[in-house]
Amino acid sequence: MLELVVTPHRRFKDAIYEQLARIGKAASAPKRLELLDLLAQGPRTVEALAEQAAISVANTSQHLQVLRAARLVESEKRGLHVEYRLADPAVGQFYLQLRQLAEGRLLEVDRLTHDYFQAKGVLEPVAAEELARRVTAGEVTVLDVRPEPEYRAGHLPGALSIPVDELKARLKELPKDRAIVAYCRGPYCVMAVEAVELLKKKGFVAHRMEQGVLEWRAQGGRLEGAQVSP
């Protein structure tokens, strides 16, 4: 039986791939991917992330510690709370590319998405390019239905902020003579779906935009917001 000789070259390769695997291990839990998606919208406290990801604060903190150990997120003490943010814009791009790879290789992703949005009657989202044209031409009202902190962290140019849970009480702020395009956190976010459902019931012409700020910026679109560089 041949004896395996571990050369310096082999030790180097093994060590490098071990470090690369830290990213894969950190991103291997579904809830950690959701946390990265949420943090791509803007900084969050542990409590806010727990509420939006529908898990306990303790579990959220554990997931964040794993992401932090892999240098994917950073934290900062803010009074009585700890606020997390993505460690680098490249982390957001990593999440986006991972999602796009899954969409291209896993038929289940398309089936789950199709079935959900078909049931909601909103299978026809407005493409980013078409939205850009309509915004420039003044043909639509762009509605950001995410929580206000996300809007402040960065939003599409000219977008009006009305969080989805405030929409019913603020319908008078929206014009009825132009179509409304609602967006939230990207193709799997349901807030824009809820907004479009409500708007259509109230007589508005409304559409869902599939892209969120992460996708918009990745396609070269400009964002407005205090925490967004030009």
For residue range 148-161, list pLDDT tens digits in order: 999 999 999 889 99
Q: Rounded to two decimals, what is the model's pTM? A: 0.87
How many CB atoms are located within 10 Å of the residue 15 CB? 9
Q: Indicate whether 100 belongs to any domain.
A: no
Domain around 165: 117-218
Is 77 part of a structural domain of the chain? yes
Q: Do 59 and 13 lie in a common domain?
A: yes
Nearest to 45 by CA among 68, 13, 77: 77
> Catalytic residue among 160, 181, 184, 199, which?
184
Asked if residue 198 and residue 137 are part of one domain, the reply reads yes
Return the bridge partners of 181, or none. 142, 207
Structural tokens at position 73:
């997120």
Considering the domain boundaries, does residue 97 fall inside one?
no
Q: Which two tokens stand for residue 107?
A: 């038929």
Domain match, 122 and 201 both:
yes
Please indicate, yes or no, if residue 104 is contained in any of the structural domains.
no
Q: What is the pLDDT of residue 2?
A: 65
Same domain, 135 and 175: yes
Question: Shortest CA distance to 129 belongs to which of 196, 219, 222?
Answer: 219
Is residue 1 assigned to a domain?
no
**For position 126, what pLDDT does the model report?**
67
Mean pLDDT of 168-180: 93
Q: Specify whether the CB–CB gap between 229 and 169 falls below 8 A.
A: no
58 plus 130 within the same structural domain: no
pLDDT of residue 228: 43
What pLDDT sits at residue 230?
34
- CATH number of the domain at 33, please: 1.10.10.10
pLDDT in tens, 84-115: 999 999 999 999 999 999 999 999 998 998 88
Q: Is 184 a catalytic residue?
A: yes
In a domain, 178, yes or no: yes
CATH assignment at residue 186: 3.40.250.10
Q: Report the distance separating Cα 85 and Cα 111, nearest Å.
A: 32
**In whole numbers, what is the pLDDT of the chain averaged over residues?**
90
| Domain-located, residue 192 | yes
Pair (140, 211) in one structural domain? yes
- Helix (H) / strand (E) containing 86: strand 81-86
Q: Answer yes or no: is 110 within a domain.
A: no
Q: If pLDDT is split at 50, 70 and 90, which confidence band does 229 have?
A: very low
Q: Are residues 75 and 129 in the same domain?
A: no
Q: Do residues 143 and 80 share a domain? A: no
Please tell me the distance from the alpha carbon of residue 39 to that of residue 45, in angstroms, as a whole number.
Answer: 10
Domain count, the chain: 2
What confidence score (pLDDT) does residue 225 get? 82
Do 28 and 86 belong together in one domain?
yes
- Identity of the amino acid at 152: R
